[in-house]
Amino acid sequence: MKKAFKTLLTVSFGAAILFAGIASVPSVNGDSVEKMRVNVEQGETPDSGKVIYPPDKRVS
């Protein structure tokens, strides 16, 4: 009886930790992923990547 209780406790703890782990992983919003997928072929690409080029037009 005591052993069964211990097993149950271990399993419960395990499940709780697993659940907490899953809950803490940041979710990537499915809709926004889809939105971006749609825009993949149409959207703009930044012209500079990880550097900033000087402005060539009026800075609005």
Whole-angstrom Cα distance, residue 16 to residue 14?
5
Whole-angstrom Cα distance, residue 46 to residue 52?
10
> For residues 8 and 19, which CB has a smaller minimum distance to another protein in the complex?
19
> For residues 1 and 52, which CB has a smaller minimum distance to another protein in the complex?
52
> For residues 1 and 32, which CB has a smaller minimum distance to another protein in the complex?
32
Q: Which x/- pattern, by CB under 8 A, does the window 16-45 give for another protein?
A: ---------xx-x---xx-xx--xx--xxx
Q: How many residues bind another protein (CB under 8 A)?
A: 27
Whole-angstrom Cα distance, residue 34 to residue 40?
10
